[in-house]
Each structure stands twice: as C-alpha cells, then as structure tokens.
A and B are shown apart, each in its own frame.
Chain A
Amino acid sequence: MTEVIEKNREDEALSSTSGYIISIDNLNKWFGDFHVLKDVNLTVAKGERIVICGPSGSGKSTLIRCINRLEKHQKGTINVMGNELTENTKDVSAIRQEVGMVFQSFNLFPHLNILQNLTLAPVWIRKMSQKEAEKIAWQYLKRVNIAEHALKFPSQLSGGQQQRAAIARSLCMQPKIMLFDEPTSALDPEMVNEVLDVMVKLAEEGMTMICVTHEMGFARRVADHVIFMDEGRIVERQVPGKFFSNPENERTKEFLKQIHAIS
C-alpha cells in the first residue's frame, strides 16, 4: 500500500507540468481513405474518470487505442504523462507499462493459468522476483474476488471471472491510467455487475480511467465527465447529471433515447 502512495506522489509531479495526465490535441486519424477520428480534443486530469459512449463505428475504440498507441495517428498530438506519442517515440512500451487496457474479449493468455497471467508482465518487464510478483498478484486477485480460481486456466472460467482476471492482470503492472474498451459487452447479463463492481471500486480508489461503455448506470455513478462521440468527432462533453437530463446536442438526445428504449 505504501508503494501505491509513493507512486501517486510521482504522478503528481509528472502531471503537474501540463496539469493533465493525458492531453489530446486536434487528433486526426485515417484508415486508408476513411477519416475515422476528426479533430479530437480531449484532456484528462489525474484521477479523472471519463466515460465515452456513442453509436457503433463512431471511433470510440480507435480513440482509446491511440492513447496507448495500439493505433497510430496521422495528425495532431497525443501526450501521455508528459510523453508525446509520435513516430519517433523511442519506447512506446515504457508508456504502455503505465497504461493498463482491458478489452471486450478479455484476451487472457490461454496457455497460462490465472496466477501466471498476472505475474508474467511484472516478472519479465518490471523485473520483479517471482515471489514478489505473486504477492502482488494475490492482492489483486482478492480485490477482484477470484483468488479461489487462481490456479485455473482462462478457459475454465466464466466470462465475468475472465474479465475480472484481465482487470487484475492490468493492475498488477500498477498502471497510472486504465483504459476500458466495452469491458462488459461480451458478457452475459448476469455477469455484467460483478465486473462493474470491480470498476466502481477502482474508480473510488482514485484511478484515472477512460471507459468506453454503454452501461449508463455506471456512467452516472462514477464518471466525472461523459463524452459522446459520433462519426469520429467528440460531439459533447458533460458532467453526468447534465448529460443524462439535459444534453445539448441533438444526436446525443437521439442516442440516449435509443439506449433507454433498449434498457
């Protein structure tokens, strides 16, 4: 725990230069001819929790994948913890180590058991001893409530358990930012809450989070800001109260109506 606190101090020093832990300025991205992100501006302060929603194909995944450079952008700047992501960024992996990512399809390593999934990166990248890495892994396994399945392989777990394990795997690297790309949309409805609970807890602990999700209950509860994207643009950024009760943009209203119609 003391380590975590120390880490947080470091972050403050880091982000105090720009004031933001992530700042995206005039971001444009193309897939071939297809202009997928258009003039996106986004700043995230340390400890801020942002929920991104919007229709399918609006570029939500692409945007957050640009933040840890799983996608390359062609125009504009992305600055993560004081490092600008460019073609010349020497060590993308050093930045990725500080930015956890959780995927829709879990992507646990199927040839390793859950405990090994959690210790792999700390041992090989952070150069922790196996023992130390396991100690941290057990902490997070308990936090996400799957310690009892630690020695099983991913295929032996339910979707909800796998996703919680995947979150724990990211947390074991003790990242400063967590990105979530629709973490619950591949899950059976009865498993959604167990994953959301873990995310809520994480948010309450002060993690900087960007979540692409359509779980509006979650957004209402934890988000500092909700962002609505449409056709590659950020159309609206609001605090949740305003976003849900009185959005400014027509398309946001339309989208919220559809969401309500479904749920």
Chain B
Amino acid sequence: MKLNKIRKDYFNTPLNALMTLVMIYLIARFAWWFLNWAILDAVWIADTKDQALESGRGGAAWAFIINKLRFFIFGFYPKDEIWRIYVTFFTIVLSFIPYFIKGIRHKVIIFLAHIIIWPVLIFAFMGQVSTNDWGGLSLTFILSLLGLLYSFPIGMLLALGRRSSWPIIRGLSVAYIEFFRGIPLITILFMSSVVVPFFLPSQVAVDKIVRVVIGMTFFQSAYLAEVIRGGLQAIPKGQYEASDALGFRFGLQTYLVIMPQVLKVTISNIGGISISFIKDTTLVLIIGMFDLLGIVNPLASDSNWLGMEPEGLIFAGMVYWIICFAISRLTSRAEAKMNELPDVGVIK
C-alpha cells in the first residue's frame, strides 16, 4: 500500500523519478554535512576560539555557547545578583498554581493579582540591577510575559468596545485597533524608545523596558482584540438572550457566559498569535536591547570568540523554536481538553 503510493507520487514519470533521486541526494548531502558540523566534528570544550580551532576538525564551536551560557540566559546581569532572577521567575511560575485549584471561582481576581504582582516583582526586585544590564533569555521572557499579561485584558475590552452599542466607545475602540494594526511594531518601538522620552520632561524618566512593554502592549492588544472579536461573533444570539432572560447584566454575562465560550473557540488562534508576539520581541535588538537574539553580536565581539555568530544564531534560533513549539503543543492540548466531554453515564 504505502510503497505503491510512494511509487505513484514520486516515481510516476522518468523525469519525476530523476528529480526525486536528485533531491534525495542533495538532502542527504546536506544532512550529512550538517551532522558532521553540528555534532560529529563539533568542539564542546574550549576556552577560546583558537583553542577550539586547534582541537576541532572544522565543526561547530559549541564551546562558545557553553562558555557564554550565563550571558545567553541572564544577559549582563551581575553574577552575584542572579539569584534575584531565579526568585522572580520561580515566583511567577508558582503564581500560576491558583488557576489549577478547583474550588476557586474568581479566577479573574487571580489574574488581576498577576497584573499587579508581576511588574512589582520584576521592576522592584529584579530592578535592583539597572535594566541596562538585563538581557538574554530572561529578558525575552520578561518582555513576552508582561506584553501578553497586559494585552490580554486590554484586547478583550477593545473587542467588547468594538461591539458596543455606545457610539463613542465603539469609535474609540475602532480607532485604537485600526491605528495600532496599521503601523509596524518596529515603528512603535522606536516611538516608545526615542520619541516618547523626548516629549517627557527630563525629571520623568520612564525605564526603557517599561516603555517597550507599553509599546508592545499597544500593538498586541490591537491584534488580540481582532482575534477575540472573531470569537465573539461566533457566539450565537441565543446565548445572549438566554442569559439576559435569566437576569444577567452585561459584566457577569460576559464573564460567565460569553468569554468562556469565546476563549474556547479562539484558543488556537490566541496560541498562534502569542507565538508571533514572542518572536516579535526580538525586534528590541534594534533599539539596543540585548535579548536572546540581540546578545549574540556583543558576545561574538569578545576578542576570544570573534566570529562566533553562526553558532550563536543557531543556538538562539533553536531556543526560540523550542519555546514556540512548546506553546503550540500546549495550546493544542488545552484546546483538546476544553472540547473533551466527560464520559458520565446516567447517575444513580
């Protein structure tokens, strides 16, 4: 069966057969070369590039990554202070636990707590070290987490606002959404890092990272609003009427009846858009911040490790891929779980 299908699809004419063989040859050649470069001939332990060149046979110098791993993860955060980052992230991870406790009815309160606690933790506690020294993977995480944390509720409000029967609210929402969807993120980042401080009085110094998070939130909330609006449109009119008829007012109706269903239908879109937001955080390298991608260049300018960009970039790419792949799997798991119906028989 399978073999037949392969023959039919790839070897049905002489030309096709030839092309198939050529492609197989090229792919195998490349795979073999890459395997040698990345693993078989790679150098894992060395203190400088020269050492790596001497001991190796022309393969990748992963020793560069291993030597600089601390910088890839924590940026230029001082070694003695790194425990602050550990504590911050550990607490953030712990703060997810209440979502999974069954008895808690007011999940929205936990979310509001996050909105306040996370930035306090990040800026007051990690912020004991100047944000100029932040970087690497931890910066990528911070930008992604804060961006998503704020753009979610704002996106929801905008989506609701866009469907409001109140013309002023509707108009403002539409204007906001269309404005921020219409300009590239990079423009917003430039504005927030260069133009905004220019207009602020010099006593008011808003931290660079705060400004970036605000800029990203503007951008992302506009996109999320459109995703959520799509979900709102998918909710049948009957759901509004039934909950109206029971006596629900707008707020509870939205929270208890409408939004849970919207999240269910949009979760895979939200997962997808979150992935692209995380990838978008790499744009901060253009305004001089050293996130996981941005830090490759300064690290590869170390006189001991000149010209290590390929290894650095491949490593950064792999880490991004792993993060994004994990999110993609997580959202499809969550989606499957939401759509799963319990197998309860008749009771009693």
Contact = CB atoms under 8 A, between A and B. Distances in A.
Interface residues of B, number: 24
A150 to B, nearest CB: 6
Interface string A72-100: 00000000000000000000011011011
B109 interface: no
A150 B264 CA distance: 22
B246 A111 contact: no
Nearest to A68: B245
Task: Sort A-B residue pairs by CB-CB distance and give the 7 closest, nearest first.
Answer: A97-B247, A107-B242, A107-B238, A148-B346, A101-B245, A121-B246, A96-B247
A128 interface: no
Contacts of B242: 101, 103, 107-109, 166
A151 B346 CA distance: 8
Nearest to A152: B344
Given A107-B239, A151-B342, A125 B246 contact: yes
Contacts of A94: 247
Contact of B347 (A93, A120, A147): A147
Interface string A147-158: 111111101100
A70 B245 contact: yes
A169 B344 contact: no
Label chain B's interface by main secondary structure.
helix
A173 B246 contact: yes
A124 B344 contact: no
B245 A150 contact: no
A150 B247 contact: no
Contacts of A55: none
Nearest to B263: A111
Contact of A93 (B248, B260, B348): B248
Instruction: Determine which residue in B242, B243, B244, B346 has the highest number of CB atoms from chain A within 10 A of its CB, and name it.
Output: B242
B246 A97 contact: yes
A15 interface: no
Contacts of A156: 341
Interface in B241-258: 241-249, 252, 256-257
Interface of B: 236, 238-239, 241-249, 252, 256-257, 260-261, 264, 341-342, 344, 346-348
Contacts of A106: 238
A173 B342 CA distance: 27
Contacts of A150: 347
B238 A125 contact: no
A208 interface: no
A166 B248 CA distance: 16
A182 B346 CA distance: 28
A159 to B, nearest CB: 14
Given A103-B238, A120-B256, A125 B342 contact: no
A99 B252 CA distance: 19
Given A70-B245, A150-B347, 19 more contacts: A70-B244, A96-B245, A96-B246, A97-B247, A101-B242, A103-B238, A109-B242, A109-B257, A110-B261, A111-B261, A120-B246, A124-B252, A147-B347, A148-B347, A149-B347, A152-B341, A156-B341, A169-B246, A173-B246
